[in-house]
Amino acid sequence: MLNCLRVSIVLAATLSIAVPSSHAAAATLAKRSETALMSYDLGNKLVPNWTGGGLLSVEADNSAAPQLHVFDDQGRLRSSVSLRMPGASLITVTGFAHGVDGKITACGDAFDPEGRGVPYLAIFSADGSSLRVIRTSPYHPRRVIVASDGDIWTLGTEAAARQLGGPRPRSALRPDAGLIRRFNSEGKEIGSFILQSTVQNATDVVRLENYLSANATSVAWYCMAERRLVEIALDGTVTSDIRSDTSSVAEITGFAITDDGSAFISSVTEKDPKRWGFERFDRGRREWATVGGGAGWGILYGSHGNTLVGKTSGASTRNALEFFTASN
């Protein structure tokens, strides 16, 4: 069972903006606004996602009834749903997202009282009154995003088949299976992308540092372990599959793509004194360049149009959302 990264609330120093790298001397990061979640604490919960114009948070993710909550840009609770499945005594949530059409999705594994588990993809209607659960075996979705057209995209793995008493497969993953799958609103798989044979190490895809994001025209996967950025247009065209290092040695804490096509990561230095940074991908140089940062800790939750949404040590309240723009 995956150990899920949880939010660590850190209150610290003053926000420092415009800390460019040598490759992006004119790049600046500007904080546009801040809002606090009303009557809700993000502490000790899964790291939330800003998708589809709202912040989606999950609690009780390893229980018989995980709760999913959506907040708007004013910090107000807009919807709340409970994920329950007949016969399941434990439901894990490894991925979750909110769509511009209001639907809520989640993926992970559901276990019966005897400990037998099956992978699932769950889809709630916009008003939360309808829940569709799809068993995705042998494919295990680990991240999920709702594209602007309402289709659902997942990142996951499919284990290589092994005959009883037969030799062990050369790879732990089925080579000709797709890592990224596309589902329609009814949960029917309608597309498969990026062969598992292209993965350097099977464990790279199941690590926490895998991010799935979407903008108005595409979806993107960033894998920290392989320094890999994959982008797929909504017509199914793979527009990029690039391996590139970040500008510094740091822990990657978040990822987002904006409607203008820019890809961003957030990072925190591993040694004290810690510093956070937002980096943008320079497609011409095929490398990441810092656009801003500051002392302490920071994370990207996602994007809203061309605005970045996250949380840093410079926030004035404990459960704040901060909104940033990056420009040249």
CB 294 within 8 A of CB 15: yes
pLDDT in the model for residue 1: 37
Question: Residue 22 belongs to what H/E stretch?
Answer: none
Contacts of 57 (CB under 8 A, 6+ apart): 40, 42, 45, 46, 48, 68, 69, 71
Q: Residue 208: what are its φ and ψ, rounded to 5°?
A: -65, -30
- Residue 4 confidence (pLDDT): 39
Q: How many CB atoms lie within 10 A of CB 115?
A: 8
Please, are residues 108 and 98 in contact by the beta-carbon 8 Å criterion?
A: no
| pLDDT given at position 318 | 84
- Spans of the chain, pLDDT less than 70: 1-27, 163-171, 246-249
Give the β-pairing of 139-146 and 131-135: unpaired
Look at residues 216, 102, 98 and name the one whose alpha carbon lies nearest to residue 148.
216
Q: How far apart are CA 311 and CA 301, in angstroms?
A: 8
Q: Which domains does the chain have, with CATH numbers?
A: 28-327 (2.120.10.30)
pLDDT given for residue 169 in this prediction: 58
Give the pLDDT confidence score for residue 328 in this predicted structure: 76
Per-residue pLDDT tens digits for 131-148: 999 999 999 999 999 999
